[in-house]
A = this chain, B = another copy of it.
Amino acid sequence: MKPPLLLAALLLTAPAFAADAPSPGEIVAAAPAGEWVKIAPEDLLVMDLAPDRDGKARRVVIELMPPPFSQAWVGNIRTLAKAHWWDGLAIVRSQDDYVVQWGDPDSDDPSRAKPLPPLFATAQGDYTVPLDDSLRASWQERALADLKASMTAESAGQPAESRIKRDSYALTTQFVNGWPVASDLRTSYWPVHCYGMVGAGRGMAPDAGSGAELYTVIGHAPRHLDRNIALVGRVIEGIEHLSTLPRGTEALGFYETPGERTPIVSVRLGNDVPGLPLYEYLSTDSETFARYADARANRRDPFFIVPAGGVDVCNVPVPVRRVPAAQ
């Protein structure tokens, strides 16, 4: 009996074996420089946590959402970062397979809550973006093309569903300017709660939150939160400093005692952080991204026996990297 190949098990990328078909990672690695889009430092939020028990630094880098998404909250977040409002606050919650959340531990107690600078505050949530005629037509055309491809596959003797793109939560999913979105193909579209996405916590409806309290997804995509909370960004580096935090033992993963919370040293916009690397994402309109997404849906690299024939939008993470030194 052959022992399992430990290092080859569960390969995401298999450079040594991929003679016949490249893996998604290899496809991305071969993207031409022109397909990468630089992220402006002022669109980054840099959160430095207190060092870990071994004294190692813990930095989390978040990319803020561009227009037309959630700009009221993103504006608040810029104001709070410039005011150094989060400095000295803490990670207050870590719930397994759900979210890690940070902000003012005393926000529920008006006598102790940290005063906020003047902020935008929504009375009602507005978590979607109107679908204009051009976008609607384009996405409907894509949906039709998918259906045609499905029929072609069926007539060629392939399983029909292997070509249909389905989403469990919306009529279609797409990528807009580097961000995953869902749409009803009629009135609106909205960003979706994938792993690493950052949102603005809120109380009961119709409270819409201010952006002072943020969370990030550290488990299976909680897509039921789509259209119910404002998404404001995504973690592009250092999410492991949040996803590995001890889980809180109170209800919803809140920490039981102040000593369990992780202190936030500082939160700054990227242009206020000396020496911050430059980051870039792979254009979701690029040819490489299309091939990457297709490869995520149809794994042809040698480890795989049965390609899935489909993929959900949260299983196609948009590639983000530090700008290579050579460029």
Contacts and interface: CB of A to CB of B under 8 A. Distances in A.
B1 A119 contact: yes
Interface residues of A, number: 101
A206 interface: yes
Contacts of A184: 159, 161
Contacts of A305: 125, 127, 205-206, 227-228
A169 B311 contact: yes
A136 interface: no
Interface stretch (A34-42, A61-69, A214-222, A269-277): A214-222
Contacts of A186: 159
Contact of A167 (B121, B159, B166, B297): B166
A157 interface: no
Task: Count this chain's copies in the assembly.
Answer: 2
A154 to B, nearest CB: 12
A254 interface: yes
A209 B4 contact: yes
Nearest to A252: B12
Contacts of A168: 165-168, 310-313, 315
Interface in A75-129: 92, 95-99, 101, 103-105, 107-108, 110, 113, 116, 118-119, 121, 125, 127
B8 A203 contact: yes
A178 interface: no
Nearest to A199: B10
Given A4-B209, A9-B209, A169 B304 contact: no
8 contacts: A5-B108, A10-B98, A10-B225, A159-B171, A168-B310, A205-B305, A220-B220, A223-B312
